[in-house]
Structures are given as structure tokens and as C-alpha cells.
Structure 1
Amino acid sequence: MTPYALTVDAGVRDLRAADHLLHRMAAGLALPEGTFGCTHLVRGDRPRVAVSLSLPSRPLLEATRERLAGAGYGAVSPGLPDAVGRAVLYPGAPALTGTMMVAELVARSAIDRVTVLGTPDPPDPETRMVTRGHVRPQWQRGELVLAAAPARGGALVPFEDPDPTPCCADH
């Protein structure tokens, strides 16, 4: 991520709404290529999800801050709320659809590496990744890392499900 970052706190309470907010911001503000948009869980007396934008230069940061000020997206503050954001907007994200090899996923995007839950070793670069059109890597020690889970037929899927079942849905 770049040092040119800001946080928007719109009081959003869930990840899906925060994802939509980032996509609305990207479209409404015409964010440039190279922008990272992440979600951050804010704990405490008022749990919520803040979003951050990391831009490739100081002039772009200042221009975006000015556009955000009058756009009504929420409270804007400088910097990132934490170093472990969940990336929604990042270079290459729109191209991560369908099924591709792990090596293709990394080559087409800003994702640095893929890990597989429950295994210490990285996946074979030729392993198929079924993206489900929902690839949300997280920042870990300065790297953008996608957690994946084993799927049918030896493939992998991003760990985060695009349509999770709400807690207690069957009650």
C-alpha cells in the first residue's frame, strides 16, 4: 500500500455494505488505476466497518480528499485505521472472474501470494482457482494475501464466500 491514504467512516455495519460503498465511491469519484480500497473492522463501543483509500500519489490523495469532503460519504480522516485491511478495490481485481490458475491470479492482479487454509505450503501455481467473482485478499505484513480453501476436484476457492449464510438462518 502507498503512504497516501485516507479513511472514510460512514457508520456502515457490515462488509457487504462496505463493499458497495467502496464501489460507489470508485464510480462516483472516478478513482484512478492503482487505487486500493479496503475495509477495516472497527471495534469498541460502536462496532462498524470503515473503508480506506490508498492512492498512488499525494496530488491524487488531495484531490480525492477534496471530492470526498462534499460528497457525503462519511467522516474523512488521514491515514489508515490499521495495517490489515481487506482489499475490495485493487489493481487487477476486475479481471479475477471465472476459473484460472493460481499463477494467473497473481500475475493479473496486485495479489502477492495465495495461502491455503490448513496447509503450511503454498499451492501449486497450476492449481485451478474458482473465483466466484469475489476475491477479497487481506494485507499481511505489507503483502496482499488471498486465503483460499480446497474445493471439489482439487480446485481452490477464495475463503470468503460471496453469499454467506446469515448466522442462525435456520432458526
Structure 2
Amino acid sequence: MTTRPLAVDADARDLAAAEHLVHRLDEVLGAVSECGAEPDVVQRSSWQGAAAKAYRASVERRQRRQGGRWAASGRRFRIPKRPLGAGQSEDAYVISTHVVREPTGRFVAVLNWPGGPAVEELTAILADQLPQAYVTPDSPAIDEAAARTAGRLARYPGRTAIETVTTVAAVEADSVVDAVEGLAGISLEPGDALDLTGFARPVWREGLCVLLVQRSATGLVPFEMRHQIPCCSDH
């Protein structure tokens, strides 16, 4: 399983580019999750997509190193199941985006997937599927994510459960969000309704995961909203 976070740097210069990178990571990791979610014995013919093929190749290499044997037919092989967590497969990993200023200002994504493939395998898969990105286990963005001092969370456990019309109490109970805070001195009660439909991006701050909300004409909504980011408006 993945034991270290990975930084994925695709030279994203704005939030739209950062969100696009997150969507691309979803595509690649989703294919890997499908591999892990299938029964232990999987037909080769059922796999499609370059990401799945890359993952399959990495599993085969590991099996060979461990002395594993394939069925004589050459058409079936074993893949260990891996837990995907609650909800969508995207709930199984955390992706946060961080501002890195050297050598140029840009957003770097940090991926933390405790139930994913070994870090070497995942690095190889990401490098193969995202050739425009630099994938590394060594980045100031990783240090920032580990300290939970800054960064916005784009994927996190419970995200798919709370991205709907919900309440302050439900957000804090059903996801990794530690606290919902109102901007401009807005006072919140546990039962206050929040419209987080399709988009909620909490941030790391002083060791906590905090979701910032504001008042709109229709009620309480996230401080960062989907329609503000062109990429997200198209997904």
C-alpha cells in the first residue's frame, strides 16, 4: 500500500488548472481502484484503458519478484482487493492543492492514498499517465500537507456525502471536516442549512480541516464556489 504522499506538479498556474489536474488524477486513480475492486481473479480481457494496463503491468512485475505463478492459459491473474472506503472511490484518497512559489508560483497537488498501490508502483503509474507532470515524494507541498498548515482539499473522505444540501452538524459528522466556519463574523448553529451541492473545498489550517462558508441570496454556501472556476463549471 502507499505509505508516503506523492506530489504531482503539472505547472498549474491557477485554480482552474489545479482542478483540471485533480480531475485527471481521478481518472487515473479510478482505473486503479477498479482493478483493486474487482474479484481476486480477473480476466485480462475485462481491462481497458492505459491506466489499468499500467497498474496490471506493475502488479505482474511485483508477482514475478515474489515468485508468483500465472495460470497456464496466460489469461487470468490475481490482483489483491483493496478497500475503497465509504461512498465513491474518490473518498478513499486525499488530494490537496498547495501554492509552491519556487522557482515559479503554481499549484501542486499532494496525493495521500493509504489503501493504494505501493508508492513505487503508484509513482510509475502517474508518471506514465500524466507525462506532463513531475511526480515526487519530496516537495514542500507534502511538508505543508503533513503539517496541515495550508492547502485546499479537493478530494477527501466524506466529500461525496456532504456535497449536497446539508447542515453544519452533518458536515462535521459525515466527513473529515473538523469545523465549519462563517466568514465576516457569521455565527453558525449545528442545524443551519448549507448548500454544498457538487462542490466543497475545505482547507488545512492550524492542524484542522476547516470549511469556510458565506451568505448568499439563497442561504449559506461555500466561500469557494464551483462557478468561480472555469474548469469546474465544465465538469
Q: Report the TM-score range of the alignment, normalised by the length of the smaller protein.
A: 0.7 to 0.9
Q: Which moved more, 1:9-18 or 1:32-41?
A: 32-41
* Equivalent in the alignment of 1:136: 201
1:41 aligns with 2:105: no
Query: Which SS does the other structure have where 2:28 is aligned?
Result: helix
* Equivalent in the alignment of 2:124: 66
Percent identity at matched positions?
Answer: 34
Taking a change above 3 Å as real, the CA distance of residues 49 and 160 of structure 1, as seen in their structure-2 partners, is: same
Unmatched tracts of structure 1, length 5 or more: 167-171
Unmatched tracts of structure 2, length 5 or more: 34-83, 86-91, 231-235
1:26 aligns with 2:88: no
Q: Which moved more, 1:55-64 or 1:29-38?
A: 55-64
* Equivalent in the alignment of 1:169: none
Query: Higher Cα Rg: structure 1 or 2?
Result: 2
Q: How many residues align?
A: 163
Scaled by the length of structure 2, what TM-score is found?
0.61
Superposed CA offset, 1:22-81 (max 9, x none): 122122123554310011112245221111101225854343222113222511121515
Q: Is the 8 A contact 1:131 1:157 kept in 2?
A: yes
* Higher strand proportion: 1
Deviation at 1:165, TM superposition (A): 8.2
* Equivalent in the alignment of 1:158: 222
Scaled by the length of structure 1, what TM-score is found?
0.81
* Equivalent in the alignment of 1:125: 190
Q: How far apart are the structure 2 equivalents of 1:73 and 1:106?
A: 37
Q: How far apart are the structure 2 equivalents of 1:145 and 1:102?
A: 12
* Higher helix proportion: 2
Q: How far apart are the structure 2 equivalents of 1:3 and 1:110?
A: 20
Taking a change above 3 Å as real, the CA distance of residues 41 and 159 of structure 1, as seen in their structure-2 partners, is: same
Q: Please tell me the root mean square deviation across aligned C-alpha atoms, in Å.
A: 2.6
